[in-house]
Amino acid sequence: MSVLYVVPTPIGNLEDITLRALRVLKEADFILAEDTRTTGQLLKHYEISNQLVSHHIHNEHKSIERLIDQIKASKSAAIVSDAGTPSISDPGFLLVRACIENDINVVCLPGASAIIPAIVGCGFPCDSFIFEGFLPHKKGRQTKWKAIAEEPRSVVLYESPHRLVKALKEMVEYLAPDRQICVAREISKMFETFHRGTAAELLAYFEETPPKGEIVVVISAKGKENKDD
């Protein structure tokens, strides 16, 4: 039976990749990449030579049927995103679902993801949390903030540096004043930073210091500000 390997790649430090992932990338018949240039740099770093096939958000709907036929004709294929685990706010879900529907074995490797370092490093209770990915830009955004305001678990969000200040302003508006926030920036990279405080405190900081790089926001659970139970 043919197999699709879902392979996490480093989110920053190139050493954040498993030996198993390197073996799969080397042995797979071909690799589906969100950006072949980015993945090409990773393969070059580890002296891996393999065929790269473009698979990204702009072509994934149109190319699924062709890719299924290509995977069926091969022993194995691997899918990677630019960084982290495919399908987590990146392309991959549609192909995984199609493989399952076509009796192609899907093997998901464990590995790099910004979610876990952010929730563990924020210092908030992390025995239970919810991941919301990127919030809607317009429609449904207000509804989402109202739900987060009442959420009894820690909340993990992805955010663009260009929209972080806007998001913090909305947190000031919708969340309790003492709700604790952590902005994790550039996880696993040279300039990794964790900024902790209330929404108002972090808003004041980032208005003076425009953020750069990849950002994960963690919001403490309702009623658990600075508590561990």
pLDDT, tens digit, 9 for 90 and up, residues 134-170: 999 889 999 999 999 999 999 999 999 999 999 999 9
Average pLDDT over residues 16-39: 96
For the cut 90, the answer to whether the pLDDT of residue 91 exceeds it is: no
Nearest to 4 by CA among 61, 127, 87: 87
Average pLDDT over residues 48-73: 86
For residue 227, what pLDDT is reported?
Answer: 47
Domain-wise residue ranges, the chain: 3-108, 115-219
Candidate from 67-76, 84-93, 174-183, 184-193 with smallest mean pLDDT: 84-93
Model confidence band, residue 224 (pLDDT cutoffs 50, 70, 90): low
Model confidence band, residue 62 (pLDDT cutoffs 50, 70, 90): confident
For residue 225, what pLDDT is reported?
Answer: 52
For 120-134, the pLDDT digits (tens) are 999 999 899 999 999
Residue found under tokens 């740099």: 41
**For 3-108, CATH number?**
3.40.1010.10
Model confidence band, residue 4 (pLDDT cutoffs 50, 70, 90): very high
Query: What homologous superfamily is domain 115-219 in, according to CATH?
Result: Tetrapyrrole methylase, C-terminal domain (3.30.950.10)
For the cut 50, the answer to whether the pLDDT of residue 201 exceeds it is: yes
